[in-house]
Structure 1
């Protein structure tokens, strides 16, 4: 597909004055239409491209060929920085129900499994195929939706859907609902932008929070047409350093134990806490997730104790009476716009600090880890806040001792804290703090996952490339009197299996469906018939939100147990035993 601005440019150069005067409105619309089509073509290609490097190449090509401001709004959509208050899925359902049979739409949605794709395919073509007057560039869509009132949205969307083909309609709907699901992370999108010039992705990360869509200053800098945008944010996000899994590719024998600093890997979420004074002398504090998302609003109790001038890297936990609480307690505070006094009191947040990146304006990231660690210990001692404490060093000076600590953290920690350990972090003592996942510097050695044999009970279609497969599974274990056992759902999983296994499970679901509940299929399950799944998970917590009273941490399908009859799947007592040690 020829990018819209190149096609329009070619037409413009060939057209004479009389042609322009007679068809200017049609010409301008076509240019804008083609640019919107370029965006839809990009999303379509990305959704079917599995390789990261190939996705990056597609993004670079698009950003290089499509002009401002369209490419900037495309970048904002891919990085999750666009949202439209009034364009919600319920509104889209109302629009398509007014144009098509509601029952047919419901059946089609159940079959396709993706709202945007279903509407795009079912939307009836307008009576006239001639383009209407008006601008339909990506920029025009974004800017119109941002300023339009709630009552205007239905007519706007209907008109736009009338003007686009199936792929264009799908891309428009993905854009307005914010659920692109094309396998592009914010980091990959920023990396593609950096590839337009001689710029490192980490340089973009460090100024990103001071930029606004459509990022024209960013593109001008990356392409060498202007100086680097200067962020006046006193607490910008710094790209985090990540660890490699300790496996055959990073053989422990290649690293002497004495060269490694060993600490616990806690079961919370990785965060970066930044605080400093702005130009007006006011204290500014911000809490970031490891991907740079600002989560400050959900943790006002943490912001209140961030009275320092520093940037720290650590783990966000819920800690009660000094003991780390289950991850399920932390989940009650995540993804919230506010946190009231009761929530803060019932689930008190805390930070266990791993590293010190900036202290009183001095960037420490180039220093060796041990030097940063000494400064961190002094910093935490001077801070004197129980809500922010130091991640302790694990006393292990040989690989045997390291392995023993990983296997049995309860030998070194109190009960609740031992249960909150995911494994170990191993850091070279001379390692600088480098963004990304540099080789040979940091390693994570997680504890072996728990395994349970469960029976598949329900299945639902996935999204994106998996929208035609039943790829989201609910599974259960046996409960009750041995003479009258029933399956109780204990978890859901949608990854861990291979593409070949996905096809096998999908075939089983379609051949053994016994009931339907909207988009969910109930699968044949009983003592004699059913599919047993080996489920791996990181931990288990009590839960009042689940019928079984249990909640799994990071469940995934480990393998298919075609060799095992459902009657031999595990019982609820097996899981209960994990909670009691």
Structure 2
């Protein structure tokens, strides 16, 4: 557990991508099985404990520490795991004679019943030093927050592969040196769904001690191909419109729909299976192969806005009423496999032709073709991007080379995304809360609002990125200097007509939301500018936000027909 705690601590304090890769690579090289496999599972999000809940941690610490003192401490620190790790008093009479191993903790948690978990956690907290306690609680709650994405973790795993392996000498004498082919994150993602934690067979392959795990299981996930943002000034002069197909960038979620040998699954872009939340979609797919596309709500031949799809996201199951009110479908734009044939090496033009033929004979309303946009110049395409005929259903455009294969990862050149310019409003900071990890000492999560007709602020969103480290210091100081009320970890900041901090908020879209007091919800809000110069009274009003929403629903289209 000590080595894992040291790894998490160093990852959380390191901002450099390359430094994080080296830290994890070295850990995976030095740590034996199964601990390194469990660590990789935790960092890639493939490890969870259904029986363990944050409330158990609270009950455990409040049984040993005055609840008021704990509340004040948690309020100051802003992170549950860090607070408990620092304040835990320990019990010498219960302290074991050794620290637990990472694999010991995980295997005990996986086997434990809910009523046994709190006792296990208390025993481990007694045995560990503060850094180990912090790592334990991060592991239990699943909130590692150390700046390590799943793909970055897989990249580090690929880096443990040696350049060559020396096999035992043959009878005639001498040694046989086998040169191993290098691997990368995409190679690991290709077999990821064929391996399970703690990944002993994966590490055996990476180290040249075993065969590559078979990626050919039916219904498996294929690593996705991603696009890079186009730089209009730098890229367009070098690109020919004739070389690129243009498609709408639909405002849904990227999915992979797979039906192979009787196995049908629906995956998110990160490889998480979401089939259970969309049984209507799965029942309506009849092809044999793997399709890359966008999951949307499709109602009466029209694409509904993202807010309708949100009603069905993050659910393990869904009832008939919700499915009827928000019928989902896949809008397809690539065919990765068909009838057992892997098509990813074919050029897009050929994959597209086969996709069109497949959808032409597909029955039902759960699978549709994403149309190719007709254009002859970047200027003409730019006009369509600014005012798309499909309205708010599209975030912008995708540009894909006709001759490109389907390559996992984000290669520069074959695919570009050209998103529409974001909407912006000026809002006033109302509340602030401390961040996590490196930001746990700063107020970095900000709730902002706009003025109602009655002259009071109503919250319309929350943002926690878009600013630099230097700007964060200024925001944090403003919160500390102008806090007027405290609600646990939340600070109410002075915000009046004649005093307040105005934030320019950029966002991708608006949806009506009865769950929010203002009646609206923003899509991807972030702080684009801090308006130290602007009086609070000049911030936007709820009426102007609703006007924008009305405009998006009428001109942008609450629903949009696919051409």
> Scaled by the length of structure 1, what TM-score is found?
0.89
| 1:503 counterpart (444, 468, 473) | 473
After superposition, the C-alpha distances for 1:116-172 in whole angstroms (9 at most, x for unaligned) are 00000000143379x624671101110011112222222211111111111000000
> Scaled by the length of structure 2, what TM-score is found?
0.92
1:194 aligns with 2:173: no
State the match for 1:105 in structure 2: 70
1:116 aligns with 2:85: no
Q: Which runs of 5+ in 1 are unaligned?
A: 1-35, 278-282
Q: For residue 324 of structure 1, report the CA deviation from its aligned partner.
A: 1.2
Q: For residue 576 of structure 1, report the CA deviation from its aligned partner.
A: 1.6
- Between the aligned partners of 2:51 and 2:339, the Cα distance in structure 1 is 43
State the match for 1:162 in structure 2: 126
After superposition, the C-alpha distances for 1:481-503 in whole angstroms (9 at most, x for unaligned) are xxx41111111111111111111
After superposition, the C-alpha distances for 1:358-407 in whole angstroms (9 at most, x for unaligned) are 11111111111111111111011011332210011111111111111101
State the match for 1:337 in structure 2: 316
State the match for 2:169 in structure 1: none
Contact 2:284/2:365 (8 A) holds in 1: no
Contact 2:335/2:351 (8 A) holds in 1: yes
Map of 1:66-85 to 2, 5 A cutoff? 66-85=31-50
- Between the aligned partners of 1:149 and 1:367, the Cα distance in structure 2 is 50
Given the superposition, is the C-alpha separation of residues 146 and 312 from structure 1 closer, same or farther in structure 2, using an over 3 Å criterion?
A: same
Higher mean alpha-carbon deviation, 133-142 vs 217-226, is at 133-142
**How many residues end up aligned between the 2 structures?**
531
Map of 1:82-93 to 2, 5 A cutoff? 82-93=47-58
After superposition, the C-alpha distances for 1:31-55 in whole angstroms (9 at most, x for unaligned) are xxxxx10000000000011111111
Contact 2:512/2:519 (8 A) holds in 1: yes
- Between the aligned partners of 1:349 and 1:87, the Cα distance in structure 2 is 33
- Between the aligned partners of 1:85 and 1:316, the Cα distance in structure 2 is 28
1:434 aligns with 2:407: yes
Contact 2:287/2:358 (8 A) holds in 1: no
Given the superposition, is the C-alpha separation of residues 249 and 114 from structure 1 closer, same or farther in structure 2, using an over 3 Å criterion?
A: farther
1:138 aligns with 2:102: yes
State the match for 2:281 in structure 1: 302
- Between the aligned partners of 1:580 and 1:140, the Cα distance in structure 2 is 56
Q: For residue 199 of structure 1, report the CA deviation from its aligned partner.
A: 2.1
- Between the aligned partners of 1:150 and 1:535, the Cα distance in structure 2 is 43
Map of 1:40-51 to 2, 5 A cutoff? 40-51=5-16
Q: For residue 519 of structure 1, report the CA deviation from its aligned partner.
A: 1.2
State the match for 1:400 in structure 2: 379
Partner secondary structure for residue 312 of structure 2? coil
Q: For residue 96 of structure 1, report the CA deviation from its aligned partner.
A: 0.3
- Between the aligned partners of 1:135 and 1:94, the Cα distance in structure 2 is 22
| 1:445 counterpart (387, 398, 418) | 418
- Between the aligned partners of 2:13 and 2:397, the Cα distance in structure 1 is 37
State the match for 1:280 in structure 2: none
| 1:254 counterpart (218, 238, 261) | 238
Higher mean alpha-carbon deviation, 299-308 vs 245-254, is at 245-254
| 1:222 counterpart (198, 206, 209) | 206
State the match for 1:9 in structure 2: none
- Between the aligned partners of 2:363 and 2:51, the Cα distance in structure 1 is 46
After superposition, the C-alpha distances for 1:231-281 in whole angstroms (9 at most, x for unaligned) are 56201111111111012685211101111101111100111111111xxxx
CA RMSD of aligned residues (A): 1.4
- Between the aligned partners of 2:224 and 2:120, the Cα distance in structure 1 is 41
Contact 2:229/2:417 (8 A) holds in 1: yes
Partner secondary structure for residue 251 of structure 1? helix
After superposition, the C-alpha distances for 1:184-229 in whole angstroms (9 at most, x for unaligned) are 1111111111111132322211221121111111101110001112
- Between the aligned partners of 2:188 and 2:235, the Cα distance in structure 1 is 34
1:272 aligns with 2:256: yes
Partner secondary structure for residue 105 of structure 1? helix
| 2:459 counterpart (489, 499, 505) | 489
Partner secondary structure for residue 60 of structure 2? helix
State the match for 1:5 in structure 2: none
Q: For residue 331 of structure 1, report the CA deviation from its aligned partner.
A: 1.1
Q: For residue 297 of structure 1, report the CA deviation from its aligned partner.
A: 0.8
- Between the aligned partners of 2:488 and 2:274, the Cα distance in structure 1 is 34
- Between the aligned partners of 1:258 and 1:266, the Cα distance in structure 2 is 22
- Between the aligned partners of 1:134 and 1:304, the Cα distance in structure 2 is 53
Q: For residue 341 of structure 1, report the CA deviation from its aligned partner.
A: 0.6
Q: Which runs of 5+ in 2 are unaligned?
A: 162-181, 552-563
Q: For residue 313 of structure 1, report the CA deviation from its aligned partner.
A: 0.6
